[in-house]
Structure 1
């Protein structure tokens, strides 16, 4: 339980015990009833109460005017008027000279009743409503209304005092006062209920202080209501409780309208500062903080000895985009948290981990004796991910690429060191190695990569892409049964750019989607033109990228393209990779929509990705394509031969067709025939060739078999 909650409960218990104690020893206390002493004490306590009331008014009305709120403004106006009435009541009850001739003791008690009723109703109204900011104009309006009400009340009191001087001494007025006093007590208790009971949210410390004020207001009202002969001791304790209540209210309103908003603003600023230098997902310091830290390290290094190394490594999760796209962003975020936790747990006192955003992390190592120690430590970090990670109840093996820059040597500023380490990690990914230390030649290659990406963005509109076609042969009859459309780029200055160079760039930049759509349209249009020219129809195979495959409207786009061209879907074979089926539910739904179009679906490069018999059994696919890496060494490597044989046998049992890629000699062809492989493609039959050559070499001359 919080400290303020304990104080509130203690205040309620102490107040109840005090009231009970006073009532038990009421007779004994009445014997000490000396009006001269009690009136002096009452005057002191009453003046203190008035001072607290004026402080509430001053705090809300005169100070911190730039932080006006309805709560502050209304409380200030309320107690500005109430403290005037309380002051008149106090002077009237103790028969203060000059005042006693205008205010009798009975009238003074009615003033107190009216004051308490106003405070109870006012608190109930103010704290039952949502607090909102107000303007200086609102402040003037409230001031005018409060001033008019005070003047009206005093005028009414003077009129009653003059016109009906005996009114407050009549017997029925005493009964009425008892009912009004009881109503005041219920109003205070209702105020407590309004603050305590709405919602299950935890109450702020300031509201708990205001609850304590209402408890003491209620206790004071109970004392004022106690029937006594003489009425002096209970009045004194009632005013004392009222003074405590005023003080609690002064504290509570200050904390609610001044202190808490200040701390909330302070916490918000601290949160903003935290987010400025930390990653929101992993909680790790971010790139901005890394830059600061490296600058501090460099500044310190200017006066320290130069015989120690500091290494900045940047690590990038390999194929993170595939995982994020296949399993969803939630799984991707979970993976980033798991990677950060594994690296954080491994960090030593002289090492610091940072998040660089997306799937990149930076690891700063200081106080290293030599370069070899830095590289050895980097290798240890990568070995952490030999164990799989659990994502959504499944185990996945991931790997990281690491780039390293060394201080001193690889940069004189923080930005240079970070940029060079980033260049090194991208070079490691391109070269397919785990670790790269920065060398200046990498910077030149990175600039070339950036320029190539810019050229790639304009290649479509400049009509620089073209397609090559490689035939697929049925092994049993050696007939041409299909062809694969392969994308090529003829750069105006660099000439033919390797697909291995520009396809990853297109995938990373998102350009693969419009490029893939162009390939689909061009290949289908060429196939339709050959059919219109009278050649026997065959199937064209077209590769889909991950980004294409995950488009929600992919089936609709393909249907629209085929309809516009007039090509029957049975002459289209869409090739996907195993990695696209990581998220089996999404992949199954997409494949089902594609199959409903009437197209064929093949799994390309089978055996090199996330192989799973489960998806082979359930997903609507037609063909497996054995990756060329297995076929090329099938005669030299018994393991590759076993893999090809197993894939072929499995496909037969699942009633799937099998196509072998990369067939280059007759020995490989004979082996594939012995395994009852259905089809093959490779340089043994033809390299990828342009449409005109394909038409001359295969469509006009070769005997043609049936399509798929």
Structure 2
């Protein structure tokens, strides 16, 4: 930016010096005032200016239509008229017979004044306001209006030319011309002042280019109205300065409306990815990144079929950390976490990585160990890192750690299992007052239990053991219910209620999720239609799609048949997908396109926990982002999560998407979401998921009672 500021200051100084030098040596230049040569050069300069003007128009009309903004659209329309006026002026000024017959040289200068007045006033208005994205539909309206304005301007010029000829008032017209030129120069200078003000705010590189363009516009205007005129040479210098200004406008508008928003979007994407996968306090990768890293290591081991290669995951918890926070304050607690992270990181060797698990927990992941003894020997070394005290501002403090260990292979087949098992082990260590505890799983019993649960799951549909519960979705402005999410529950005949976290992964892995998911779609839509027929205010029902469902080629046909058979308007159905479902971009886009053709709404659930790219997100046919509850739950305690929620909400507004926050549990979270202009929310603050009868009684009837009679 400093370099762009220097260029702008240099341009202003160089322009002033150039003008002064030409005035000083105007007598010498007068000797080179060859009319034929100057006319030829003037024609070349004028045609270049027209080309630049048309390029500015084409940039807004023909190129990057999906990234239209007010500034680029209006500048494009403005310079369509400006380049037409410049073209007529250039041809008439140099004496092209077919034009100069109707427009004299003096009248040609009026065309130039009109062109400069339009560019000066237009640039002042356009760049004195903040730029905003606009719809492609506005393009036609703007250019129709611009065309009418151009025709009107030419008509006024012709009328004025006729009237002036009749009045034969040359002196009056000359005075008016001089006043008009002064006004144009004043508007150019005003434009510079308006864009520069307030001076304390750092200007973007693109706006500095626009300021440089205005400087050259003003310099060109000074040549055109030079009281010490040396003839047509002044006009030539004026036209050359204007050409430089046109080029700068072309460059500046491109950078302001295309390049800078693109880089800003890239920065937002990088910021979201960083905040989603790193701990802001320590700078360490977080639990989500650990999940990816461990899963990748497991998959690599499975694919390589390596024998005798072990990986160990160690969850470390700082003992009595709450006492440190309470006695020394949160600042000291944060500093302690940073120092602990720093000390462990410095001692991490090859194939060892440290992660933050949030609060006072860390994860130490080591790979490529030859045997279990090597894993255990390294684990024993970790607590010894804190034999030396930790230095805080208030003194030196001895701390201790509790460690839980899970080892692959043996203690889990997935990243989630290894992390959960290590976490279970560390809590066991703290409960029993020991330093290190390795997880001891009963693998065969768990496998048998999973197999039995899968068999029971296969019969659950035909035995009518599934049912749906509904959680309201509330409009934050009014706290009125505007939708509901349908959630699946399983009432096992012997085990009672089985957690969805337990049976959904089994259904997904076995393929049972497809018929179960279709049952959920039918029942949720049927219930919504029944409530509409009962006279309740229509609201949307959100239904989660699983990965296997989403990949079904006949999914849109199945949903279309359900909606048709129930005679349910598609606008009352919101299908929720996850970011991971869009990894295969072409398949996902095609499926989403077919679903959107039905007329249903589409939301991305648990947004921020996946790995989607904003480049694809902006083109995806979706309507809503649902912020994951893991961000919302600690939004008041964790600035990292607060920043993620704020960034996602802001991005969604720019992409014209609705935002729904999940997991809202208290008024403080609700107020924070309102401040971020989040549209809707759901969570225990409003209601836990409840059965249809209770939902009808607690929400639909109350909503109807509030309606005006």
Q: TM-score range by the shorter chain?
A: 0.5 to 0.7
1:210 is the counterpart of 2:207: no
What is aligned with 2:177? 177
Q: Residues 373-424 of structure 1: CA distance to partner in whole angstroms, max 9, x if unpaired?
A: 4334334332333444466746554322111222333333323322222222
What is aligned with 2:375? 374
Q: Residues 16-72 of structure 1: CA distance to partner in whole angstroms, max 9, x if unpaired?
A: 333233233322222111111111111111111111112212222333333332222
Q: How far did 1:429 drift?
A: 0.9
3-state DSSP class of the match of 1:164? helix
Q: In 1, distance between residues paired with 2:336 and 2:197?
A: 43
Identify if the C-alpha distance between structure 1 residues 53 and 363 changes in structure 2 by more than 3 Å, giving closer, same or farther. same
Q: In 2, distance between residues paired with 1:271 and 1:286?
A: 15
What is aligned with 1:122? 122
Q: In 1, distance between residues paired with 2:268 and 2:136?
A: 26
What is aligned with 1:157? 157
Unaligned runs of 5+ in 1: 446-708
Which has more radius of gyration?
1
What is aligned with 2:263? 263
The equivalences for 1:633-644 within 5 A come to: none
What is aligned with 2:55? 55
1:274 is the counterpart of 2:292: no
Q: In 2, distance between residues paired with 1:215 and 1:348?
A: 59
The equivalences for 1:501-580 within 5 A come to: none
Identify if the C-alpha distance between structure 1 residues 36 and 168 changes in structure 2 by more than 3 Å, giving closer, same or farther. farther
What is aligned with 1:408? 409
The equivalences for 1:10-159 within 5 A come to: 10-136=10-136, 138-159=138-159
Q: In 1, distance between residues paired with 2:96 and 2:402?
A: 89
Asked if structure 1 preserves the Cα contact closer than 8 Å seen for 2:23 and 2:228, the reply is no
Identify if the C-alpha distance between structure 1 residues 169 and 14 changes in structure 2 by more than 3 Å, giving closer, same or farther. farther
Asked if structure 2 preserves the Cα contact closer than 8 Å seen for 1:43 and 1:91, the reply is yes
Q: In 2, distance between residues paired with 1:165 and 1:196?
A: 43
Q: Residues 175-202 of structure 1: CA distance to partner in whole angstroms, max 9, x if unpaired?
A: 3333332332232222122222325332
What is aligned with 2:361? 360
Q: How far did 1:325 drift?
A: 5.7
3-state DSSP class of the match of 1:306? coil
Asked if structure 1 preserves the Cα contact closer than 8 Å seen for 2:316 and 2:362, the reply is yes
Q: Residues 447-489 of structure 1: CA distance to partner in whole angstroms, max 9, x if unpaired?
A: xxxxxxxxxxxxxxxxxxxxxxxxxxxxxxxxxxxxxxxxxxx
3-state DSSP class of the match of 1:402? strand
What is aligned with 1:345? 346
What is aligned with 2:548? none
Q: How far did 1:2 drift?
A: 2.9
Q: In 2, distance between residues paired with 1:104 and 1:393?
A: 87
The equivalences for 1:275-314 within 5 A come to: 275-302=275-302, 303=304, 305-314=306-315
3-state DSSP class of the match of 2:130? coil
Query: What TM-score do the two structures reach when normalised by structure 2?
Result: 0.58
Asked if structure 2 preserves the Cα contact closer than 8 Å seen for 1:424 and 1:442, the reply is no
Asked if structure 2 preserves the Cα contact closer than 8 Å seen for 1:427 and 1:442, the reply is no
3-state DSSP class of the match of 2:386? helix
Q: In 2, distance between residues paired with 1:318 and 1:444?
A: 33
1:188 is the counterpart of 2:188: yes
Q: In 2, distance between residues paired with 1:383 and 1:188?
A: 71
Q: How far did 1:323 drift?
A: 4.2
Identify if the C-alpha distance between structure 1 residues 349 and 193 changes in structure 2 by more than 3 Å, giving closer, same or farther. farther
Q: Residues 320-369 of structure 1: CA distance to partner in whole angstroms, max 9, x if unpaired?
A: 34445666655544443333233223322321111122322111123434
3-state DSSP class of the match of 2:165? coil
What CA RMSD, in Å, does the superposition of the two structures yield over aligned residues? 2.8
Identify if the C-alpha distance between structure 1 residues 409 and 179 changes in structure 2 by more than 3 Å, giving closer, same or farther. same
Query: What TM-score do the two structures reach when normalised by structure 1?
Result: 0.58
Give the aligned length. Answer: 445
Identify if the C-alpha distance between structure 1 residues 168 and 76 changes in structure 2 by more than 3 Å, giving closer, same or farther. farther
Asked if structure 1 preserves the Cα contact closer than 8 Å seen for 2:315 and 2:422, the reply is yes
Identify if the C-alpha distance between structure 1 residues 168 and 365 changes in structure 2 by more than 3 Å, giving closer, same or farther. farther
Q: In 2, distance between residues paired with 1:62 and 1:170?
A: 43
Q: In 2, distance between residues paired with 1:411 and 1:304?
A: 16
Q: In 2, distance between residues paired with 1:240 and 1:89?
A: 15
3-state DSSP class of the match of 2:300? helix
Q: In 1, distance between residues paired with 2:432 and 2:61?
A: 71
Q: How far did 1:165 drift?
A: 1.7
Asked if structure 2 preserves the Cα contact closer than 8 Å seen for 1:405 and 1:417, the reply is yes
Asked if structure 2 preserves the Cα contact closer than 8 Å seen for 1:420 and 1:443, the reply is no
1:436 is the counterpart of 2:448: no
Identify if the C-alpha distance between structure 1 residues 182 and 439 changes in structure 2 by more than 3 Å, giving closer, same or farther. same
Q: In 1, distance between residues paired with 2:161 and 2:185?
A: 27
